[in-house]
Amino acid sequence: MAVALAIKDPNREKALIQRRAISFFMLTVLCVGVLVARFVQLQIFDHESYQSRSDKNRIQVQPLAPPRGLIFDTNGVLLADNRPSSALGIVVERVDEIDVVIAQLRDVIALSDDQVERFREAQKRTRRPGAAVIIADNLSDRDIAALAVNRHRISGVEVITQLQRYYPEGAIAAHAVGSVRRMTERDLQEQDKAVYRASQFIGKRGVEAYYEQVLRGQPGFQRVETDAHGRIRKVIDIEPPTLGQNLTLYLDARLQQAAVEALGARRGAIVALDPKTGGVLALVSKPSYDPNQFIIGMSDSEFRKLSESVYVPLFNRATNGQYAPGSIFKPIVGLAGIASGAMQWDTEIDDRGSFRLPGGEREYRDWSWTIDNAGGQGLVDLRRAIYRSSNVYFYDVASRLDVGYLSELAADFGLGKNLAVDISEASRGLVPDAEWKLGTKGEKWYQGDSVNMGIGQGDLLVTPLQVATYAAMLANRGKIVRPQMAQVRDRDRGNEIYPTQSSQFARLTHDDWVNTIAAMEDVVHLGGQGFRGNGTAWAYIGQDISYRMAGKSGTAQVVEIRQGEEYNEEELSEFRRKHAWFMAFAPVDDPQIAIAVLVENGGGGSSVAAPVARKVLDSYLDSP
């Protein structure tokens, strides 16, 4: 059977090819038309919108942190500086897996668990989108080189060059100058975000905190062009930040160093003021700490060591330590007796070593009392009572005074107040009275409370800063200057000397001030009279002295000693021993410096605190 073969029709094949070609051509034209239409839409109708989006991806506005103002001492010594530093930051928005990036970084540089933990905490804080979150500060040159080599494989990281606060004096001036700290979430909520948008640190203590608005400056910005990896390729324009203002303090760095050395390894505080201006010449609190640690970063264990130490190095004893003043309070008691008319300068009592209130059984003892010897200072008037520090005399005076009158005069000397111009965090201390006791303890005021207050004990509390102010007021014969750290004039707060508007002071004559100062001179310079005649500090500091000093020592008990028991310091633990005080000013005729020295749990004021004060005054007055 024969098979029929199909014969192709050329005309039909040609027509088919033509139809397919026409269809393909039309499809191509349609596609090209769509592309042209889309192109027209993008380039003409939506041009501005897409250009804006492109610029947002390509161009960034970055805030620029202002350099913080510098802080100098009165002689131009730099106390707070800015130093360039490199930090490593991660832009979270440019990272898919944070843990992966951190692992990659740990292969390149050393990152501690503490640094990673701080980074994770910082991530949670309010911040500007696209801003880098710091994970490592103070990169070394080796770290920077290693990051540069490996940057192509680690996305979202930036090496940021910044100015970082640095304190050249370290622990020596930490409590005087204060310090900056890294901003917290609370800081960001409380402060103006526009002002702090580029800042990582804020003044937290001392001068740095009080003058934050002066020192911080104003931020600037720069517009930069970046590549797909976020790296800056070109700076388009820049508005530089405004530098913070510099500050000059009254503080004398040389005197500050001398005060630190004079206090040695002991715990305590020293405050020195210029009686003419109120300028703080020295402010020492020991033990201290290095404020640079809070800037470069420290481990949790290092911070716990500081914050949990029984010696509390972070605590500013000079402005916030509150202590019973002991015998340095006695000149105020004496002046209160004079101003009230309860006694005269020549009023005498026979100090036989103890005092009892009329009809009372409790015996109030002199500091010289022992079990074997009643002690006492013999026949004393007010001048002798001051330079011999007769407890019995001031027990007697205080028992005659209304406590309200004594408290008011103490307040006129700045106790129970914060008179400082620019130390806002300074504690107020406590000057108790009948109203305070009733409101706080629910008890009435007893005459025995006044007796205790007469020798600076009981509930009375003062700070070293207040004692230095009190000494300056004595040096000024009843005129006051407000303590001030920075040499900044403020018409509303002024730091000029002004007369105290106290009715109690108005009752004191020029001779009362002269007699008080003469008695305090005797504390230091009266010697050769035997044990019961010498000034209490003469044997310790009054010999071979080239200037005239007026001073008063004080020894404040920390624990109560029961009737009939003798104070045995060796049997007490360290923190239960007596505090040693000494306040002074010099030279007497033209006071240049007033000082307060506290040695915590140090023992006797004359034997321990007075030599410290003498070293500081020598350094200031005898140096060329």
pLDDT tens across 92-136, in order?
777 778 888 888 888 888 888 878 887 887 777 656 666 778 888
The rounded Cα 111 to chain-centroid distance in angstroms is 30
CA-nearest of 313, 186, 275 to 592 is: 275
Looking at residue 377, its pLDDT comes to 86
Q: Is residue 377 within 8 Å of 385, Cβ to Cβ?
A: yes
CA-nearest of 403, 429, 424, 401 to 414 is: 429
8-state DSSP, 511: H
CATH topology of domain 60-248: Penicillin-binding protein 2a (Domain 2) (3.90.1310)
Work out the angle at residue 169's Cα, subtended by the Cα atoms of residues 167 and 170, and round it to the nearest 5 degrees. 65
Cα(476)–Cα(544) distance, integer angstroms: 26
Bridge partners of residue 88, in order along the sequence: 136, 159
pTM given for the model: 0.83
Give the 3-state DSSP-derived string for 80-129, with helices as H, strands as E and coil as C: EEEEEEEEEEECHHHCCCHHHHHHHHHHHCCCCHHHHHHHHHHHCCCCCC
Cα(541)–Cα(318) distance, integer angstroms: 23
Q: Is residue 605 within 8 Å of 326, Cβ to Cβ?
A: yes
Looking at residue 118, its pLDDT comes to 79
Looking at residue 547, its pLDDT comes to 95
**Cα distances (angstroms) measured from residue 33 to each of 21, 39, 45, 206, 427:** 18, 10, 16, 72, 81
Give 3-state DSSP helix, strand, coil % of the chain, rounded to 5.
40, 20, 40
Enumerate the active-site residues. 327
**Could you give phi then psi for residue 516, rounded to 5 degrees?**
-65, -45
pLDDT < 70: residue spans in the chain: 1-8, 42, 45-62, 125-130, 194, 222, 224-235, 369-374, 489-504, 559-573, 624
Neighbouring CB atoms inside 10 A of 418's CB total: 20
Handedness of CA 103, 108, 113, 114 (dihedral sign): negative
Looking at residue 233, its pLDDT comes to 61
CATH class of 254-621: alpha beta
Cα(596)–Cα(234) distance, integer angstroms: 59
Looking at residue 491, its pLDDT comes to 43
Where exactly are the structural domains of the chain?
Answer: 60-248, 254-621
387's CB contacts (< 8 A; 6+ apart) are 519, 520, 522, 523, 526, 535, 536
Looking at residue 36, its pLDDT comes to 82
Put the strands of the sheet holding 232-239 in their side by side order: 59-64, 220-226, 232-239
Residue 597 token pair: 């020295």
Looking at residue 500, its pLDDT comes to 47
Neighbouring CB atoms inside 10 A of 52's CB total: 10
